[in-house]
Amino acid sequence: MRYIFNFPDIGEGLEEGTILEWYVTKGQAVKSGQALVRMETDKVVTDIPSPKNGTIAATFGNVGEIVHVGSPLVEIEMEGVFGAEAVAEAQAPVTAPIEEEGAAVVGTMELAGKNALLAASDEGSSKQEPETKPLRKVLATPLARAMARDLNIDINQVTGTGPSGRVTKTDIETYHPTKKSTTPVEQHETYQQPSSAGESITYEPLTQIRKAIAKNMINSKLNAAHMSVFEEVEISNLMSIRERYKTIYTDKNTKLTYLPFIVKATVNALKQHRQLNAQIDLENDRMIYKNYYNIAIAIDTPEGLVVPVIKDADRLSILEIAQKITALSDKAKARKLTLEEMKDGTFTLTNYGSIGGIYATPVINYPQAGILGIGRIVQKPIVKNDQIVVGNVLPLSLSVDHRIVDGGEASRFMNCILEYLSDPVMMMME
């Protein structure tokens, strides 16, 4: 069975892309998720991963050629897939693949409960390995469950006051006092247009993930004293290093992007600036410094933002970090992240530049002390040895909780990262 993979619509309204580099050639075996081609659009430079396992039967277009959305990119020979299964495979929807699925301009989503990680639909991938072990089912009375369903309340968010913390009717009513009234009241009447104007507004219930994001974002904004600082770093050295090793590691099925380098640089900088790897505990009048380095990575998924964590990133090589990022990113897209993989981040990176954006003011992944936003790499004139030359500039945006991190410290931390990125050998040395 052969499967033709068309250049997918990756959002942002783009209609076409330029082939920058082919990672695969005819006859090469590919796995689902493996980068096929590097595409450049007017907003993003991105790797397009394979949607299927199989062997490349053909590639369409040469480097530098423009491909329109919906036009064929590759043809994949899928082994062991025949007949009806093949038809089903071929017809299965393909989700837009983007390098690391970049990020949003925002930080958080740590603990949102099971539903946030594995929202309702199963999108065709149902008969894979058994679902990750669910969190302990919250204790609730049958009535409380019925009410929560009816009122569209995530019962996991409700604090139970019954025996053993069981959620009761009263708890639901306390959680959602406005819904106490039993008579349904037609709300938003003022927004309704005359029927002749048609449906100008659509109301949709919030998904669990959206609710969790909303809650965490506002929690961060209300509790942390946000302050941002912006910097640029010329990364030609880093680019050449990456170029050199990328192909080697691609053969080993590892996508070597810029992000693992930035993770490494950040961890090294955090080691020297512990204020950034800390949290403040006002209740007990103390600082909590973390002596471990768990780097959270913001990942944009169709359902919304998720932020899995690279545990003990200081003990991983750049290569291992790259593999970890790929694994977490794949899991995020397949909605297979476990709570364990989302917990206990100490600092967050958000790679919005992979989608688009130069500077941002990222929202801190509360209660962490900082978040580093990575913008899109741009070629622009820079002054080098008193000459104006073309530089590859990576814009960085750092938001810190000003309660914890002073301006000077934020800048020193940033300088440290800039140093590592402009001279990558240094970060390997340390």
User: Which of residues 161 and 193 has its CB atom nearest to other proteins in the complex?
Assistant: 161
Among residue numbers 133 through 162, which ones bind other proteins (CB under 8 A)? 141-144, 146-147, 150, 161-162
Is 162 or 356 the residue whose CB approaches other proteins more closely? 162
- For residues 175 to 204, the per-residue mask of contacts with other proteins, x marking binding by CB under 8 A and - elsewhere, is -------x----------------------
- Write the Ramachandran bin of 173: left for phi over 0, alpha for psi from -120 to 50, otherwise beta: alpha
Tell me how far apart the 2 most distant CA atoms of the chain are, in Å: 75
- Least distance in angstroms from the C-beta of 146 to other proteins: 4
Query: DSSP characters for 186-243?
Result: ---GGGPPPGGG-------PPPHHHHHHHHHHHHHHHHS-EEEEEEEEE-HHHHHHHH
Q: Which helix (H) or strand (E) holds 399?
A: strand 387-401
Nearer to other proteins, 182 or 202 (CB): 182
Residue 160 vs 362, nearer CB to other proteins:
160
Least CB distance to other proteins at residue 141 (A): 3
Q: Tell me the helix, strand and coil percentages in the chain, rounded to 5.
A: 35, 25, 40
Shortest distance, position 148 Cβ to other proteins, whole Å: 10
Q: How far, in Å, CA of 246 to CA of 240, rounded?
A: 10
Contact 411, 400 (CB under 8 A): no
Which one of residues 168, 220, 294, 368 is an interface residue with other proteins (CB under 8 A)?
168
Residue 85: its H or E element: helix 83-91
Query: How many helices (H) does the chain have, and how many strands (E)?
Result: 10, 18
- Kindly state whether residue 103 participates in binding other proteins, applying the rule CB under 8 A: no
Contact 278, 287 (CB under 8 A): yes
Q: How far apart are CA 405 and CA 397, in angstroms?
A: 15
390 makes contact with other proteins (CB under 8 A): no
What's the closest the beta carbon of residue 169 comes to other proteins, in angstroms?
6
**273 is a catalytic site residue:** no
Nearer to other proteins among residue 169 and residue 343 (C-beta): 169
Please report how close the Cβ of residue 142 comes to other proteins at its closest, in angstroms. Answer: 5
Out of 69, 105, 169, 241, name the contact with other proteins by CB under 8 A: 169
Residues near other proteins (CB under 8 A) = 141-144, 146-147, 150, 161-163, 166, 168-169, 182
Catalytic site residues? 402
